Amino acid sequence: MKTFYCEEIACGGCAARIDRALDAAGIRHSVDLENKTVTVEETAGVAPEILFDLGFTPVER
């Protein structure tokens, strides 16, 4: 599992966009709106690219 901090996560809409994109990619994940983090369970390492494409800046924690 990897956790990414994304400063730009500001609302439930942001979390929903992330959920839809990661679900579509088949990546198990959770979004923590309060802490502005996304935790992913994947081995391919494509989650940061997906987040970036959505307009978020993922910083691995």
Mind listing the pLDDT tens digit for each residue in 7-61? 999 999 999 999 999 999 999 999 999 999 999 998 778 999 999 999 999 999 8
Say whether 26 sits in a helix, a strand or coil. coil
Question: Parallel, antiparallel, or unpaired for β 2-5 and 59-60?
Answer: antiparallel
Q: Model-level pTM?
A: 0.92
Q: Would you state the pLDDT for residue 42?
A: 80
